Amino acid sequence: MTILVLGGTGKTGRRIADQLTARGLPVRIGSRSAVPAFSWEDRATWRPALDGVTAVYLSYYPDLALPGAYDDVKSFTELAVRAGVRRLVLLSGRGEPEAQASERTVAESGAEWTVVRCSWFMQNFSEGFLHGQVLDGVVALPGPDVAEPFVDVDDIADVAVAALTEDGHAGRLYELTGPRLLTFAQAAAELSEATGRQIAFVQMTPEEYRAAATEQGLPEEEATGLTEMFAGILDGRNAHLADGVREALGRPARDFTDYAAANAKAWTV
């Protein structure tokens, strides 16, 4: 009854694996450093990682909206079902039409499936690519200062664990958001309040963002892909709330203010 957690060392996967392990359930981490190793870029690693697995938390790196993601997810899903996987939980992107193709593939796989659809993680500010910017006092992104329904990764993990281990979640699409909308400027203001430091939001052009990303060591192709993705989804398409956390767990989603207060030490300079 082994559960494979892809991206098991990442923000969502690490939390999911920890919860499953705490319940005494057999867990296999899907990462390059695991044994057996798993890499989306090396399809030869997929079958060994699936050996004896009955359920999979399916998260794609770096993002379902990027070129090549759908082909990888489709091929992996087909292989997983042939290998005996009976339950799939897909982490999907909210407001990403490209991700919806992967959702359909999982839904049509023949396995029990659940889709967990999210947009911006709160933890991007404390554990992800924005952490360094918050430490520097300036959050810079390409695109306008639109409102986003930031969602807590702990909520995502709780929903995914429920879908992996409990009945009643098969065939469900849970759209997860926080309880209110915040612009990035408002989020920066809340981080300022929590840390006692001044943190600002700066709007960059896509060209400026791409150049800055490559200067910081990101490969040109990845920098271009991320810039295009951010410029696309930062257009207000996600400026509405959903109640997927309550639908899945029977409780409200965590608020950004609570997240900022709990993680204030992460931004200690």
> Which tens digits make up the pLDDT trace of 183-207?
999 999 999 999 999 999 999 999 9
Are 47 and 81 within 8 A, CB to CB?
no
Domain span at 77: 2-120+152-177+239-254
At residue 82, the pLDDT reads: 98
At residue 208, the pLDDT reads: 93
In a domain, 115, yes or no: yes
pTM of the model: 0.94
Question: Which of 148 and 1 is assigned the larger pLDDT?
Answer: 148
At residue 84, the pLDDT reads: 98
List strands edge to edge, sheet with 87-93: 27-30, 2-6, 53-58, 87-93, 112-118, 172-175
In a domain, 184, yes or no: no
In a domain, 264, yes or no: no
pLDDT(181) > 80:
yes
Cα distance between residue 166 and residue 81, in whole Å: 19
Q: CATH number of the domain that 249 lies in?
A: 3.40.50.720
Number of domains in the chain: 1
Output the DSSP codes for 191-241.
HHHHHTS--EEEEE-HHHHHHHHHHTT--HHHHHHHHHHHHHHTTSTT-S-
In a domain, 39, yes or no: yes
At residue 62, the pLDDT reads: 87
Cα distance between residue 193 and residue 264, in whole Å: 10
In a domain, 62, yes or no: yes
In a domain, 130, yes or no: no
